[in-house]
Amino acid sequence: MEEDDDGGRPARRVVAELRRRIAEGRLRPGDRVPSTRQIVRDFGVAMATASRALALLRAEGLIVTTPGSGSVVRAPEPRAPRLTPRELTRTRVVATAIAIADQEGIEAVSMRGLAGRLGVTPMSLYHHVAGRDELELLMIRTVFRAEPLAGVAPEGWREQLEEVYRLQWRLYRRHPWLAELLSLTRPPLVPEAMDHSERTLRALAELGLARDERRRAALALPALVRGLALTAVGELRAMRETSMRTTEWWAAMEGEVVQQFRSGRFPYLAAVEQTVATDDLDELFEHSFMRYLDGLTLLAGAQPCE
């Protein structure tokens, strides 16, 4: 089997052949392109090479991938009606960017692509946003503004933390790209997101944790939630690249998995169900979050507050 080394030459070979089929009309708009497993079989390459080839075709705009449904040749998009200067507003620009990111991922958002979706020239966008950095900040603010924290905090430190981080989880699930734009160590100075940190610190102060423990918990809580959200992002990206759901990927890898487990080196892993659907992440969030709050309760009772 040909591995994708030597500068990615095997993947480029697959891309060139599929590109030729599209150009010659052998693969027409809407036609399914070979799946990763078909490419592995037909071209004699590794699964990673097949995934890379489809990713390159997708980056060229030649195919589109729907998780669980496979990849098809992209149909020419109808020209968007041109907007008048009055119709093109900052709100519309940001809303369109969010819609693209929700559907295709944050990597699909570009000033040129956004202009094409809106039916305007790329330069006209700069009358409303200074560039990609400002656009991303406006996207974050818009998402947080759409579902703010309650004006009056709930009674009790635990209820306050549950409000904050269940809301964050919902936002991450609704807008997966949000987890990629937020940073734990260099957070964007977005007032709507800073409200979450303020509410967290208030709740931890009410709990009575020592100052250092409050600081650590104020970092650990968002890290826990965002970390799980990034796992979901990775799964969505993998489904786009491979056209395979998690269960389908595990089925394709069954032979290799069985070979590893038969070695006897991983007895505990062999006893665990390996297929983890993204839907299970909601349950995993609840489990992890509740256990962390339980731990804070015990911690607060085991140390004096400052």
Q: What is the pTM of this model?
A: 0.73
Q: 21 lies in a domain?
A: yes
Task: Answer whether 161's CB lies under 8 Å from 115's CB.
Answer: no
Q: What is the pLDDT of residue 175?
A: 96
* pLDDT tens, residue by residue, 227-240: 999 998 888 877 77
Q: What is the pLDDT of residue 304?
A: 55
Domain membership of residue 97 as a residue range: 90-145
In this prediction, residue 67 carries a pLDDT of 63
pLDDT tens digits, one per residue of 56-114: 888 787 888 776 667 888 887 666 567 777 789 999 999 999 999 998 889 889 998 89
Q: Domain with 132 in it: what CATH number?
A: 1.10.10.60
253 and 129 in a common domain? no
List the end-to-end C-alpha distance of the chain, in Å, as a whole number: 63
CA–CA distance, 222 with 164 (Å, rounded to integer): 10
**130 within domain boundaries:** yes
Q: Is the pLDDT of residue 241 over 80?
A: no
In a domain, 2, yes or no: no
Same domain flag for 175 and 137:
no
Q: Return the CATH number at 19.
A: 1.10.10.10
Q: What is the mean pLDDT of residues 44-51?
A: 86
281 located within any domain: yes
Q: Please tell me whether residues 201 and 287 are part of one structural domain.
A: yes
* Same domain membership, residue 292 and residue 160: yes
Does residue 3 fall inside a structural domain?
Answer: no
Specify if 83 maps to a domain: no
- 194 & 95 share domain: no
Answer yes or no: are the C-beta atoms of 190 and 133 closer than 8 Å: no
Please state, in angstroms and rounded to a whole number, the distance separating the CA atoms of residues 172 and 246.
20
Q: What pLDDT does residue 163 have?
A: 97
Same domain, 42 and 25: yes
The tally of domains found in the chain comes to: 3
pLDDT tens-digit series, residues 140-170: 999 999 999 998 999 999 999 999 999 999 9
Residue 305 above 50 pLDDT?
no
Residues 226 and 118 in one domain: no
My answer on whether 161 and 298 are in the same domain is: yes
Torsion of CA 36, 39, 45, 46, to 10 degrees: 10
Q: Which two tokens stand for residue 270?
A: 């062999």
124 and 255 housed in the same domain: no
